[in-house]
Structure 1
Amino acid sequence: MPKAGETAADGICRVVGPGADFTGRQGLSYAPGISAESVGAKGLHLQIVTIPPGARAKAHKHEGHETAIYALAGISRMWWGERLEHHAELRPGEYLYIPAGVPHLPYNPSPTEPCTAIIARTDPNEQESVVLLPELDGIHP
């Protein structure tokens, strides 16, 4: 955590451990790392997401912010597009790019294995740009 009065503009490099896990508006578990809250970041955040076996997020988008994901373990899949009409699969060692404002719904198809990934987003605040899209949740039960 930055000391009082410190910001990213101070030019101070920081090492941080993972923050306390939290459940995001999307319904998934996150372990925050780099963010406005932890180091005063101005243009990005970095965190780890874990999707339990058989679980899925709520349909959502990140208004005005791009997302990059690197898969560490397990397989995740994602419906994406204005009506969640497209589908992608992400395996360990692969990267996924999600443009700003694109609706998506990630899920874990495995009944036994969690999937874990590193997420980087151009929103320095961990949840600020999340826009839930409940009208899309029922498209893919």
Structure 2
Amino acid sequence: MAECRKIRPADRYTGKQGFTYDAGIAAETVGSRAICMHLLTIPSGGRAKAHKHATHETAIFQTEGRSVMYWGERLENRMEAEAGDLIYIPADMPHLPFNPGPGPCTAVIARTDPHEQESVVLLPELEHLVP
């Protein structure tokens, strides 16, 4: 029988995207089967690698700071976000987030992939499209 679990983020890991995450709810930590949720703090000037999450949706609640995300097949769209904003990223959507500063940007991220890094697909061919 499954049990309710509580996690206090203590462990950190570096994702394929290039950011360091605070470990949270995932198959690896609590045995989840359909969702993961973790914390991310992007330092001022921090930038992810262009990527997508194959077949998985992402929901983000930005709790602190500002961020910019380029998204679309050729990263042709630009979205700015600040503390209090909720962001939805459809499955298979290429995106590249970064923190323009001046301070850190913190967010709670949830994805329909219980293994946070398994669905990450890097898209190095799109890197040059974002200034």
Q: Same fold (TM over 0.5)?
A: yes
What is the SS of the residue equivalent to 2:61?
strand
Please state if 1:94 is matched with 2:85.
yes
Aligned counterparts of 1:11 and 1:22: Cα–Cα separation in 2: 26
Question: Partner of 2:107: helix, strand, or coil?
Answer: strand
Assess if the C-alpha contact under 8 Å between 1:32 and 1:126 holds in 2: no
2:59 pairs with 1:58: no
TM-score (ref. length: structure 1)? 0.90
1:28 equivalenced with 2:28 (yes/no)? no
1:37 corresponds to which letter in structure 2? Answer: E
Contact 1:55–1:108 under 8 Å retained in 2: yes
1:19 CA drift (Å): 4.1
Counterparts of 1:19 and 1:102, CA distance in 2: 30
Partners of 1:138 and 1:109 lie apart in 2 by: 17
User: Is 1:26–1:59's contact at 8 Å kept on the other side of the alignment?
Assistant: yes
- Aligned pair partner of 1:116 in 106, 110, 113: 106
Return 5+ residue gaps in structure 2 as ranges: none
Aligned positions, number: 131
Q: Distance in 1 between matches of 2:23 and 2:113?
A: 13
User: Match for 1:91: what amino acid?
Assistant: E
SS in 2 for 1:137: helix
Alignment partners' CA distance in 1, 2:17 and 2:74: 17
Q: How far 1:11 moved relative to its partner?
A: 2.8
User: Contact conserved, 1:51 with 1:115, CA < 8 A, in 2?
Assistant: yes
Deviations 1:46-72 (A, max 9, x none): 001111101100000000000000001
Q: Which amino acid aligns with 2:76?
A: E
- Report which of the two has the higher share of strand: 2
Q: Where in structure 1 do 4 or more consecutive aligned residues deviate above 3 Å?
A: none
**21-30 or 10-19: which moved more?**
10-19
Percent of aligned positions that are identical:
56
Q: CA RMSD in A?
A: 0.8
Asked which structure has the greater CA Rg, the reply is 1
Taking structure 2 as the reference length, the TM-score comes to 0.97
Does residue 15 (structure 1) correspond to residue 6 (structure 2)? The answer is yes
Q: Structure 1, residues 69-97: CA drift from partner, whole Å, max 9, x if none?
A: 00010001100000000011111011000
- Residue ranges of structure 1 left out of the alignment (5+ in a row): 1-9
